[in-house]
Amino acid sequence: MLPPNAALPRVIKGYRDLVVWQRAMDLVTETYRLTASFPRDEKYGLVQQLKRAAVSVPSNVAEGHGRDHLGDYLHHLSVANGSLMELETQLMIAGRLGYLSRESQERFLSRAAEVGRLLSGLARALRKRRNTNLTPGTRHPTPHAPRAFS
């Protein structure tokens, strides 16, 4: 029995229940909002790159969650993290070009850092879960191990 003040584990029914996916979706919205004020000549340059990188983060979280194999899930989380780093870099470029206020840039980067921490935490939890479900003497999960976060 859990102590009276213990938090109950969250039930994850789908990728939309993942806080990391929700926060990454917020970054997409913020990216679109910020890039709306960029110069018109950036429409097919930096604006497109920022939007694609932003959309890639929650998309890869969702795709990985839908995969049958834990290794695939971890791979997609890694791709999401790479896209997040790309998004941060492109946003800093936009800041250097004067397309964003310092305050907007710092607020965005703070939110992006939160998504990065959530991605790292999810990947760490999945790796730990994979390692605790190993058959002795092998590097493979036991046949009856529950699927991670399904």
How many Cα atoms within 13 Å fall on the side-chain side of residue 102? Answer: 0
Contact 24, 58 (CB under 8 A): yes
Residue owning tokens 């790796």: 127
The CATH class that applies to domain 15-128 reads mainly alpha
Distance separating alpha carbons of residues 95 and 144, to the nearest angstrom: 51
Instruction: Output the six-digit token pair for 104.
Output: 């907007």
In tens, the pLDDT along 49-90 reads: 999 999 999 999 999 999 999 999 999 999 999 999 999 999
In tens, the pLDDT along 107-140 reads: 999 999 999 999 999 999 999 988 886 555 444 3
Distance separating alpha carbons of residues 7 and 73, to the nearest angstrom: 26
Domain boundaries, the chain: 15-128
